């Protein structure tokens, strides 16, 4: 057995000689369309062609009737909240492993995030716990397809339908991938996408909200554009409170070029991730990335669970072997990562809406809320790879993981 690099042995892969491929998401088509946008002398979405066309083609790609562009994934989720229009103190149920971008829009609409625990076999929202969290104040469920793995959409759709609650999908990490043959983002009432730099398709920052409901679509368009009734004669008219999340023509141009590539990107990631899982199936003390039955994984990140040794030690040893690895993803359930939730730091000194008369109960965001989530995070090692990796890069990753796993007892 060869000595671990952490202990002075030779790294499994010498990345100074053979670095892993860095991602190159942008190319000539982006430059062409950006140039066209700049030459048009109009980078404002109204009056331009890029954002309009991007929205139309995004909707057609996903087979939905409406797509509304915005400035980030967080904005896309806020646009969804604008359509749902909760009352202050209404509750929105979501997952405990996510980016704060899922939670911020809930709070900005003065609703209260409620966290359902994580399913131990998919690392996504546990439908049984979602059911337990439902109260008369539940206004929506946000399903986060974590790392690119679909939530159990059959179960979540059934729960949402039975309680008459809209189901929103956070597809920030799960572009162009499917559950039971249908694209994620199209099975719930609203789907939200992030185009931040690391995502399967990217405009640096940006977002899209999709729906088949005409009423939601109309509200989303208005909400993201200050609720400004454009084109009306006479004094300006604005409707209910809105925001300005308008996408620029520059982002629309890059988005159009990216949309042409997203299927191939996800197909490649899916094949590479599945290859890694197959290679790890007999490695001791390792749980390869789970795939929800009926789903196809988009592998935004590759989540490995390590049961034989602390994840931090494992990630350090693996990184020394040349395979960059992180431990614990966000480290703690998202509610413990946010001062807005732990300490109620929201609007001035108010702690609104948590301690307002609008809230029907006091939720304490502490360690006891989602025990499965913490256990999974404690064992999680995340690996970054991209669509430009080759099969042999993946085989090296698997070889390095096997080398560390087989000597896990020497790590401590
Ligand atoms: C699951 C999830 N939701 C929401 C967001 C927010 O997206 P953005 O950073 O584009 O605002 C992210 C970003 O990483 C995410 O991963």
The string of pLDDT tens digits covering residues 310-357 is 999 999 999 999 999 999 999 999 999 999 999 999 999 999 999 999
Cα–Cα distance for residue pair 311/249, rounded to 1 Å:
43
362 domain residue, yes or no: no
Task: Give residue 231's pLDDT.
Answer: 87
- Does 267 map to a domain? no
The pLDDT of residue 138 is: 98
DSSP tag of 244: B
Percentage above 70 pLDDT, the chain: 100
Average of pLDDT values for 50-59? 98
Per the domain annotation, does 63 fall within a domain?
yes
Q: 302 pLDDT exceeds 80?
A: yes
**Residue 97 CB–ligand 1 contact under 6 Å:** no
For the cut 80, the answer to whether the pLDDT of residue 64 exceeds it is: yes
Whether 401 is in a domain gets the answer: no
Which residues, listed in sequence order, are joined to residue 115 by a DSSP beta bridge?
94
Contact 246, 71 (CB under 8 A): yes
Report the DSSP beta bridge partners of residue 113: 92
- State how far the Cα of 157 lies from the Cα of 188, in Å rounded to an integer: 7
Best mutation site among 78, 196, 338 for ligand 1, i.e. most ligand atoms within 8 A of its Cβ? 196
Which residue's CA is the nearest one to ligand 1's atom 12? 99
Residue matched to tokens 């704060």: 100
DSSP codes, 121-137: TTSSB-HHHHHHH--TT
Split at pLDDT 50, 70, 90, the class of 135 is very high
Our count of domains for the chain comes to: 1
Among 186, 174, 157, which residue's Cα sits nearest to residue 98? 174
Kindly give the distance from the C-alpha atom of residue 102 to the centroid of ligand 1, in angstroms, as a whole number.
7
pLDDT by residue (tens digit) across 108-133? 999 999 999 999 999 999 999 999 99
* Closest C-alpha residue for ligand 1 atom 13: 99
8 in any annotated domain: no
User: Quick one: which atom of ligand 1 is closest to the CA of 198?
Assistant: 14
98 lines ligand 1 (CB under 6 A): yes
Closest listed residue to residue 85, CA positions, set 114, 113, 111:
111
Give the CATH number, domain containing residue 61: 3.40.640.10
Torsional class of 204: left (φ above 0), alpha (ψ -120 to 50), beta (otherwise): left
Q: Does the structure show a pLDDT above 80 at 79?
A: yes
Confidence of residue 1 (pLDDT cuts 50, 70, 90): confident
Cis check for the bond before 162: say yes or no (omega within 30 of 0).
Answer: no
State whether residue 214 is helix, strand or coil.
helix
- Give the pLDDT score at 129: 98
Tokens of 39: 């030459």
Q: Are 149 and 290 in contact (CB under 8 A)?
A: yes
Q: Which residue has the tokens 């197959």?
A: 278
CA pair distance 302, 274, nearest whole angstrom: 10
- pLDDT, tens digit, for every residue of 152-162? 999 999 999 99
Nearest-CA residue for atom 14 of ligand 1: 99
Whether the per-residue pLDDT at 202 is higher than 90: the answer is yes
Query: What is the rounded CA–CA span in Å between residue 26 and residue 199?
Result: 12
Closest Cα to atom 5 of ligand 1: 101
Whether residue 304 lies inside any domain: the answer is no
333 found inside a domain: no
- Mean pLDDT in residue range 193-200: 98
281 belongs to a structural domain: no
pTM exceeds 0.95, yes or no: yes
Q: Which two tokens stand for residue 377?
A: 């995070």
pLDDT given at position 171:
98
What is the Cα 159 distance to its own chain's centre?
22
CA of 171 to the centre of ligand 1 (A): 9
| In contact, 65 and 214? CB cutoff 8 Å | yes
Q: Whose CA is nearest to atom 7 of ligand 1?
A: 73
Atom from ligand 1 closest to the CA of residue 74: 11
Domain of 89?
A: 28-259
- The residue whose two tokens read 């920052």 is 205
């Amino acid at each position: 057995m060869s000595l671990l690099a952490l202990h002075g042995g030779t790294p499994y892969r010498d990345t100074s000689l053979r670095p892993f491929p860095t991602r190159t998401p942008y190319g000539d088509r982006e430059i062409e369309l950006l140039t066209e946008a700049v030459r048009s002398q109009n980078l404002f979405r109204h009056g331009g062609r890029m954002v309009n066309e991007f929205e139309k083609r995004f909707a057609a790609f996903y087979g939905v009737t409406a797509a509304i562009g915005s400035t980030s994934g967080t904005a896309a989720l806020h646009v969804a909240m604008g359509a749902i229009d909760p009352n202050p103190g209404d509750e929105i149920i979501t997952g405990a492993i996510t980016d704060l971008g899922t939670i911020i829009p809930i709070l900005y609409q003065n609703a209260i995030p409620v966290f359902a625990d994580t399913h131990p076999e998919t690392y996504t929202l546990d439908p049984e716990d979602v059911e337990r969290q439902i109260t008369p104040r539940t206004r929506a469920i946000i399903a986060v397809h974590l790392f690119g793995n679909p939530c159990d959409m059959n179960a979540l759709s059934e729960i949402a339908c039975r309680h008459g609650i809209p189901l929103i999908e956070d597809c920030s990490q799960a572009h162009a991938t499917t559950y039971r043959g249908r694209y994620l983002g199209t099975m719930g009432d609203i789907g939200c996408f992030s185009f931040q730099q690391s995502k399967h398709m990217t405009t640096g920052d940006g977002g899209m909200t999709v729906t088949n409901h005409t009423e939601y679509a109309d509200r989303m368009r208005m909400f993201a554009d200050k609720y400004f009734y454009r084109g009306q004669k006479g004094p300006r008219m604005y409707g209910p409170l809105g925001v300005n999340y308008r996408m620029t023509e520059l982002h629309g141009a890059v988005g159009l070029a990216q949309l042409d590539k997203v299927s191939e990107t996800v197909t490649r990631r899916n094949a590479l991730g599945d290859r890694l899982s197959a290679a790890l199936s007999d490695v001791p003390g390792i749980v390869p990335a789970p795939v929800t039955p009926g789903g196809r994984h988009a592998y935004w990140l590759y989540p490995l669970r390590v049961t034989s040794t602390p994840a931090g030690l494992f990630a350090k040893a693996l990184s020394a072997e040349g395979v960059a690895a992180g431990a614990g993803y966000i480290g703690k359930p998202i509610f413990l990562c946010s001062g807005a939730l732990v300490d109620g730091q929201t609007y001035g000194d108010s702690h609104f809406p948590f301690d307002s008369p609008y809230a029907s109960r006091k939720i304490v965001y502490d360690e006891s809320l989602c025990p499965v989530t913490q256990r999974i995070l404690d064992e999680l090692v995340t690996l970054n790879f991209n669509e430009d990796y080759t099969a042999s890069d993946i085989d090296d990753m698997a070889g390095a993981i096997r080398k560390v796993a087989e000597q896990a007892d020497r790590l401590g």
